[in-house]
Amino acid sequence: MTPQPSTRPQDNPVTVIGLGPMGLALAEALLKNGHPTTVWNRTPEKARDLVARGARLAASAADAVAAGPLTVVCLKDYATLYEVLDPAGGAPAGRTLVNLNSGTPNEAHAAASWAAERGVAYLDGAVMVPPPLVGDPGSVFLYSGPREVFDAHRVTLASLGDPRHLGSGPGLAVLHNAALLGLMYATMNGFLHATALVGSAGVPAADFADLAVNRFLPTVVDATLVEQAPDLDAGHYPGDLGTLHMNLNALEHIALTCEEQGVHTAQPRLMREIAARAIEDGHGASNYLAVFEVFKKAAVPDAR
């Protein structure tokens, strides 16, 4: 049976490697919650404030990972992870690495194999909040890898935020990270483009934001997506309240309005093209969510 960590933070020491803005926030949250915290960074000066608050500065990466059972790594990417830890021998056998780099699922799988070859338990992870929100109980942190490894360190990881275990596949955390960030950028681009469109008529962004974000999105978009998400899994897109043909007409009007107002047209044109592709694939009588079938397929060159 895997030993359970103590609920007393002082019994659960942690090492943080990488002291960029996020790494600093991680270490600060651990210190604030009473964990004995060791830190290491290639630029030691970044640890000055943490040391003043009680952190121990390791002399080397090898010293850092040897300091305790759990090391949280927050570096630029997977290549930097290997660059830092390979000269240190990876980590002593029996230790656990929690890697909070960004990257791809294939890179996460490779890192899990790299850790297993060295006898190191491994969790891949993703931080879904900016540095100022690290340590807030509601801040979401995603983890993937062996459940028993996650459970053994859950109490400590909870000092950083709300720890969500997504499954044993090591690539699940970075996959969710890419998906959620893609959603964030698409949503922000949609808002910015819409704001530019009404701004072409002199509408202040603050006025439009109240209407769009506080009124329109929660009622029309958010509730619809949650309610109809099961239909995506079932491939069920009833067009009783509006067909994809009707939505294509609306998308055409959006693109034409942008042209008339002198606003960037690439984004609405792309949305129009995706809807048209779904109709060509036989989903014209379905509702707009049928474009999900287009997104599930790898993109191919348009031969038209």
Q: Please choose, from the candidates 42, 36, 10, the residue with its C-alpha nearest in 3D space to the C-alpha of residue 23.
A: 42
CA distance 177 to 280: 32
DSSP letter at 1? Answer: -
pLDDT of 213 over the 50 cut: yes
The structural architecture, per CATH, of the domain 175-295 is: Orthogonal Bundle (1.10)
E strands, the chain, where?
A: 14-17, 37-40, 56-57, 70-73, 96-99, 121-127, 140-144, 162-165
Kindly list the domain boundaries of the chain, sorted by start residue: 9-169, 175-295
Sheet of 14-17: strand order equals: 56-57, 37-40, 14-17, 70-73, 96-99, 121-127, 140-144, 162-165
pLDDT tens digits for 217-259? 998 888 888 899 999 999 999 999 999 999 999 999 999 999 9
pLDDT at 197: 98
- Tens of pLDDT along 17-28? 999 999 999 999
User: Which of residues 88 and 157 earns the better pLDDT score?
Assistant: 157
**Whole-number pLDDT of residue 278:** 97
* Average pLDDT score over residue span 31-46: 95
pLDDT in tens, 170-208: 999 999 999 999 999 999 999 999 999 999 999 999 999
Q: What is the pLDDT of residue 124?
A: 98
Tell me which of 3.40.50.720, 3.40.50.300, 1.10.10.60, 3.10.180.10 is the CATH number of domain 9-169. 3.40.50.720
d(C-alpha 287, C-alpha 256), whole Å? 22
259-296 residue pLDDT tens: 999 999 999 999 999 999 999 999 999 999 999 999 99
- Measured CA to CA, the distance from residue 19 to residue 158 in angstroms comes to 20
**Average confidence score pLDDT of the chain:** 93
| Confidence (pTM) | 0.90
The DSSP letter of residue 257 is H
